[in-house]
Amino acid sequence: MSVCEPHHDAAANALTAFMCVGITVSYLPQHWRIISAKSSEGFSPWFLLLGGMSSASGMLNIIVMQWGIIKCCRVLSFGSCIESIAGIFQLALVWVLFVMILVLYMIYYPPELKYVEVDVDLPNEPPQHIKTPVKREQWKLSITLSWVIFWHIAFLIFITFMLLSTNPAPDWDYRSPQLELWATFLGVSSALLAMFQYTPQIAHTWRIKHVGALSIPMMCIQTPGAILMVLSIALRPGTNWTTWISYAIAGAMQGILLVMCIIFRARQHALGLDDFGQPINPAMSHATSSDAAPPTTPAVEAAVGDAVQSDMRSEHGVDVSAGEDTPLLTGKQHDAGSKGRGLFGWLKR
């Protein structure tokens, strides 16, 4: 028979409630930062991939570790049930809010960085930048990694609940050897992913030498908050080191990224640049506005195919600087490359 007794720990419950509020508040500056800037420049797609996979593994680890407590909700009161599974809600919240960064990253990916551009010299006119339907490598990588995250969480959920459905569970805290092994795998993989999660972001930020869309206020809240996060998880019943180790490692790595961003922001402002590396007071903000619209002459519309081929060569490192005989891209096809820009339009690209 299962023994389901309410577990009351006022200190742990208060800390978990505080952490849930703190987690939500800490992620909001990053979400707002991307939305208000209408740009996600500065993020490494590998950082988002590893972070999404790490947080998903951590969430499923605590579900496995506390599965007996979840099943006890059938006989516990609503309040006792919520109190018992508050730790699960806490880690699920981390995963949802982090994945929201990935969603906003894809929605607000800078349009000028999505497709290859060709410099075209027209007779008696200044050079113009013509976009092509050929995706840049970074944009293609971002789309691919987004799908990897989707299939990763789908696979982990399938394996987790398949094992949970076969767990005999003679007691609320009993786990079969298979479940123990799976929970350890989830916890250790979450820790390893968290350890490597910040490495590509740190390298990317070091390479571009500016903050971009990264939110310093979010990191200022989350870096010291990692200590409380680890403590709040460790105090929950049924958890062990595999459940909280990933958040300890992530907190330390995030501290390194925070220091880098503070240094780069100070450097940029000293040079009169904003967080995206642009002049704070651009003197010629409209100087290139005439380059926005591609030409639509009959000669331009006659040679679309060759332009795309030259852009594909450009993507693989071939110089495609064009002269007056270079075929251009029609405005009609340029519009075709912009279709499906809705909330989930990038999934179709």
Same domain, 196 and 105: yes
In a domain, 71, yes or no: yes
pLDDT in tens, 91-105: 899 899 999 999 999
Last residue in a domain, options 270, 304, 332: 270
Position 99 in a domain: yes
257 and 295 assigned to the same domain: no
The answer to the question of residue 277 being in a domain is: no
- Domain assignment present for 217: yes
Residue 224 lies inside a defined structural domain of this protein: yes
Q: Examine the domain organization and report whether 260 and 302 are in the same domain.
A: no
* Claim to verify: residue 16 and residue 66 sit in the same structural domain: yes
Residues 231 and 316 placed together within one structural domain of the fold = no
Where does a domain end: 216, 235, 270?
Answer: 270
Helix (H) or strand (E) holding 135: strand 128-135
Residue 301 pLDDT greater than 60, yes or no: no
Same domain, 174 and 216: yes
Same domain, 162 and 34: yes
Residues of the chain above pLDDT 90, percent: 13
Q: Tell me: do 195 and 339 sit in the same domain.
A: no
**For residue 323, what pLDDT is reported?**
44
Q: Are 304 and 101 in contact (CB under 8 A)?
A: no
More confident: 195 or 58: 58
Q: Which of 4-18, 51-65, 258-272 has the lowest mean pLDDT?
A: 4-18
Q: Which residue has the higher pLDDT, 290 or 246?
A: 246
284 part of a folded domain:
no
8 Å CB contact between 231 and 91: no
Indicate whether 263 and 326 sit together in one domain: no
The answer to whether residue 182 is domain-embedded is: yes
Residues 306 and 259 in one domain: no
- Rounded to two decimals, the pTM is 0.64
The pLDDT tens digits for 178-206 are: 888 898 899 888 888 877 888 888 888 88
Is residue 51 located within the same domain as residue 94?
yes
232 and 340 in a single domain? The answer is: no
CA 258 to chain centre: 17
Which domain does 109 fall in, by range? Answer: 10-116+136-270
Residue type at 127? P
Read off the pLDDT band of 21 (50, 70, 90).
Answer: confident
Q: 125 pLDDT band (50/70/90 cuts)?
A: low
Q: What is the per-residue pLDDT for 18? A: 83
Q: What band does 328 get if pLDDT is binned at 50, 70 and 90?
A: very low
Of 145-149, 253-257, 270-274, give the lowest mean pLDDT range: 270-274
Counting the structural domains of the chain, the total is 2
Among 270, 302, 318, the domain-final residue is 270
When mean pLDDT is compared over 8-12, 23-27, 111-115, 301-305, the highest value belongs to: 23-27
In-domain check, residue 241: yes
AA letter at 30: Q
